[in-house]
Amino acid sequence: MPVIPEASLLNGPAFRLLRALAELARLLGWQRVSMFLLRRALVLRPFDAEAAARWAEGLFQTGQKGAAINALQQLLKDHPGRASSWFDLAYWLESAGRHGESEPAFRAALDLAPDMDRAWYGLALVHIREQRWGDASAALRHTTRLQPRSHLAWYQMGKVLMKMGHAEQALEVIRHLRALEPQVAARLADETGLGALV
């Protein structure tokens, strides 16, 4: 009977099993077990993008934002073509209050996946925070084109249009939003002072 070298086990079924068990543990809410299994998997294959992404996600979910961001930045050095990881990095940077670093990460995600509506929305929120109304409006237009039923994007669009002095367009957004989410439309109408015109 041939002896199977240990290295082939590490690079094959054993690694895949560890990663699958880690995912199962995560889905069951067993975060510590999932993290333990992912750490073992990364010892076997330190450059596996999926295991590294899950490891970073686990760090973030357990409140270790700085470590999660560092892990994701390392992953993106090794695997820069992962649009979802660029989006996660942007979102985590925002969450950690590192706002100046999030815009390039959102843009990197969009360079790789121009139809990623959540990245357009995240970029719009960055522009809103910076009061860059024209850029925010453009990003929200991409979001609503890709996700026409996103009441949050339409709501932000109405607010941005008012900041830009485009009351008629904001009113059109409110009317459109009434068909999607009447309560959100009513809130927007109240906040913009356009309630009487709807």
For position 63, which CATH number holds? 1.25.40.10
What does the alpha-carbon distance between residue 113 and residue 121 come to, in Å, rounded to a whole number? 13
In a domain, 18, yes or no: no
Picking from 151, 106, 96, 149, the residue whose alpha carbon sits closest to that of residue 126 is 106
pLDDT value, residue 92:
95
**131 CB burial (10 A radius; 0-12, 13-18, 19+):** exposed
For residue 147, being part of any structural domain is answered with yes
Domain span at residue 169 reads 117-198
- Percent of the chain topping pLDDT 70: 93
Residue 195 DSSP class: G
pTM reported for the whole predicted model: 0.80
pLDDT, one tens digit per residue, over 129-188 is 999 999 999 999 999 999 999 999 999 999 999 999 999 999 999 999 999 999 999 999
Long-range Cβ pairs for the range 33-36 (8 Å, 24+): 34/58, 35/59, 35/62
What's the half-sphere exposure (Cβ side, CA atoms, 13 Å) at 188? 31
Q: How many CB atoms lie within 10 A of CB 12?
A: 12
Clarify whether residues 47 and 97 are in a common domain.
yes
| DSSP assigned state of 182 | H
Contacts of 40 (CB under 8 A, 6+ apart): 18
Q: Is 147 left (phi over 0), alpha (psi -120 to 50) or beta?
A: beta
Judgement on whether residues 81 and 103 belong to the same structural domain of the protein: yes
Residue 2 has pLDDT above 50, yes or no: no
Question: Are 85 and 135 in the same domain?
Answer: no
All residues at 6 or more sequence positions from 33 whose CB lies less than 8 Å from its CB, including other chains? 22, 25
Average pLDDT over residues 106-131: 97
Query: What's the pLDDT score for residue 124?
Result: 97
Average pLDDT over the chain, rounded to an integer: 88
Cβ partners under 8 Å of residue 59, min gap 6? 35, 65, 67, 68, 71
Q: How many domains does the chain have?
A: 2
pLDDT in tens, 12-44: 777 778 778 887 887 888 888 887 877 887 777
Query: 144 and 123 in one domain?
Result: yes
